[in-house]
């Protein structure tokens, strides 16, 4: 193991050699990184909507908060216990007149090409009969196409209403994921 030598100059001009290992330097860097990460994590949780946190906590729903301050919830599917689905509850809300609205969404597929015409027609047909939410296709920065199900709901839903909506979004997305992708990726 190599050592680096650091000379510390004490008051009065006297110098005292002190050896520190690279491991000690590494530990210091690691400690600073951990403190920074903890501060970032706490900051993200501080910016996440406390109403969503309270609703999920009150029902014992497990979640995490991503860097965008959105809640990530994973549900096991009732119809197939071997499948699960990730859904997002967006912390940021928008106002329209007297309504405060938030989005809940889930990815059904990430495609390298724009969806085929028959897929588009199926999604549009589902949009016309679905009472809650709609299918959307978004282009990511990497050029891939995300097929996702999204619901815009009042931000002041009760905890049970919110979790029912989250599960609904996850369930609809998982069914389409099974059809489009086959695997359980999201």
Q: Where are the domains of the chain?
A: 3-46, 48-180
Nearest to residue 63, comparing CAs of 183, 162, 184, 182? 162
| CA atoms of 185 and 146, how far apart (whole Å) | 13
Nearest to residue 135, comparing CAs of 173, 100, 170, 98? 173
Query: CATH says 48-180 is which class?
Result: alpha beta
What is the share, in percent, of the chain residues with pLDDT greater than 70? 74
Q: Are 88 and 72 in contact (CB under 8 A)?
A: yes
Q: What is the pLDDT of residue 27?
A: 58
From first to last of its 186 residues, the chain has per-residue pLDDT tens of 444 444 444 455 544 444 455 545 555 565 555 555 544 444 444 689 999 999 999 999 999 999 999 999 998 887 888 888 999 999 999 999 999 999 999 999 999 999 999 999 999 999 999 999 999 999 999 999 999 999 999 999 999 999 999 999 999 999 999 888 877 666
Nearest to residue 186, comparing CAs of 111, 114, 84? 84
Look at residue 112 and give its three-state secondary structure.
coil
Q: What is the pLDDT of residue 12?
A: 54
Q: What is the pLDDT of residue 11?
A: 52
């Amino acid at each position: 193991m190599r050592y680096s030598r650091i000379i510390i100059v004490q008051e009065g001009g006297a110098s005292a050699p002190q050896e520190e290992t690279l491991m000690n330097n590494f530990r210091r860097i690691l400690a600073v990184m951990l403190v920074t990460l903890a501060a970032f994590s706490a900051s993200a949780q501080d910016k996440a909507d406390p109403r969503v946190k309270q609703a999920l906590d009150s029902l014992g729903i497990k979640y995490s908060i991503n860097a965008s301050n959105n809640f990530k919830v994973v549900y096991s599917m009732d119809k197939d216990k071997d499948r699960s689905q990730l859904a997002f509850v967006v912390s940021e809300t928008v106002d329209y007149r007297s309504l405060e609205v938030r989005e809940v969404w889930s990815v059904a597929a990430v495609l390298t090409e724009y969806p085929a015409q028959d897929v588009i027609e199926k999604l549009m047909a589902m949009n016309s009969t679905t009472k809650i939410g709609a299918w959307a296709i978004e282009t990511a920065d990497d050029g891939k196409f995300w097929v996702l199900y999204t619901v815009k709901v009042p931000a002041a839903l009760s905890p049970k209403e919110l979790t029912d909506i989250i599960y609904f979004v996850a369930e609809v997305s998982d069914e389409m994921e099974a059809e489009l992708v086959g695997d359980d990726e999201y």
